[in-house]
Amino acid sequence: MPIVWTTHRRDMHKQTPVQEYLRQIVYGGNDGIVTTFAIVAGFAGAGGDGVAQIGGLAVLVFGLANLFADGVSMGLGEFLSGRAARDMYHARRATELRALHDDPAQELHELQQILQERGLPADTAAQTAAALGDHPEAVADLMMTYEFGQPDPRDDTPAINGSFTFLSFVVFGVVPLVPYFILAPTPTTFWISVTATLAALAALGSLRWSATGERLARTLTETMAVGIICAAVAFFVGWLVGG
């Protein structure tokens, strides 16, 4: 029955891959952009001649090393956190089912209070809780969502979530390095990288906007502000240490 319901829910509420994995895409993409541009900005701030003094090869070596090492770490971290969240959900749900078996009156009273907090009149909440008393599995699911704030992870696939995080990290993260693949490492190249980084952040913000329908100005501002702050910190640290 749960499999049938899951299939029905997906068929009735079809989401695009971007909508389904938006959290992983935004999380991985933003971190990828910031990670690699931090290398560029750090080198640029480290000397008076910017990255030209240190060399474009160093930027690419350190940038690519960080890109793939951090990308793998991010992907595996997403995978492990997903597995941990799933294990925690099942452990707490099993505890909730035991509580429903040992002290159903107390648990149903808690459910009644939860329903009232969500706008049901007291008598309706009491009737609903009593009706659900014969269905402990359903009660456990409701309690997990509304008491512990843990949604059912049945539809989550940690391996796919981790893959989307890794791919987004690499695809967006390589953008700040592209100018150093095709141009000599001059101060102009650095500013081209800055422009490319801003464009990547804007693209990520637009992707978030297209998936959520939130105000475009808000999604762009939030996404770009985070990236700009992190890049400015990297440049300042490079200038402080190397200046």
Which alpha helices (H) appear in 46-55, and where do they start and end?
Answer: 51-54
Task: List the one residue out of 140, 61, 58, 129 whose CA is nearest residue 98.
Answer: 140
User: Is residue 8 in some structural domain?
Assistant: no
- 183-192: list long-range contacts, CB under 8 Å, 24+ apart: 183/56, 184/52, 184/56, 185/51, 185/52, 185/54, 185/55, 185/56, 185/59, 186/50, 186/52, 187/44, 187/49, 187/50, 187/51, 187/52, 189/51, 189/52, 189/56, 190/40, 190/44, 190/50, 190/51
User: Is residue 3 in some structural domain?
Assistant: no
User: Is residue 7 in some structural domain?
Assistant: no
The answer to whether the pTM exceeds 0.75 is yes
pLDDT average, residue stretch 114-131: 88
Residue 53 has pLDDT above 60, yes or no: no
Q: What gap in Å lies between CA 83 and CA 45, rounded to an integer? A: 40
Q: Which residue range(s) make up the domain with 64?
A: 16-242
User: Is residue 37 in some structural domain?
Assistant: yes
Q: What is the pLDDT of residue 210?
A: 82
Most confident of the ranges 55-64, 71-80, 233-242: 71-80
Q: What gap in Å lies between CA 170 and CA 65, rounded to an integer? A: 11
Angle ∠(193,31,243) on CA atoms, nearest 5: 55
Q: What gap in Å lies between CA 23 and CA 21, rounded to an integer? A: 6
CB-based contacts of 73: which residues, under 8 Å, 6+ apart? none
User: Is residue 6 in some structural domain?
Assistant: no
* Average pLDDT of the residues of the chain: 83
User: Is residue 151 in some structural domain?
Assistant: yes
Summarised one tens digit per residue, pLDDT across range 128-170 is 888 888 888 888 888 888 888 888 887 788 899 999 999 999 9
Cβ atoms < 10 Å from Cβ of 230: 18
Lowest mean pLDDT among 22-26, 40-44, 108-112, 169-173: 40-44
Q: What is the pLDDT of residue 216?
A: 86
pLDDT average, residue stretch 64-87: 91
Q: What is the pLDDT of residue 8?
A: 44
- At 2, the pLDDT band (50, 70, 90 cuts) reads very low
Q: What is the pLDDT of residue 3?
A: 42
User: Is residue 4 in some structural domain?
Assistant: no
Q: What gap in Å lies between CA 2 and CA 5, rounded to an integer? A: 5
Contact status, residue 61 vs residue 181, Cβ threshold 8 Å: no
User: Is residue 9 in some structural domain?
Assistant: no
* φ and ψ of 218, to 5 deg: -70, -50
Number of helices and strands (H, E) in the chain? 12, 0
Summarised one tens digit per residue, pLDDT across range 175-228 is 999 998 888 878 888 899 989 999 999 998 888 888 887 888 888 888 888 878
Contact status, residue 22 vs residue 168, Cβ threshold 8 Å: no
Number of domains in the chain: 1
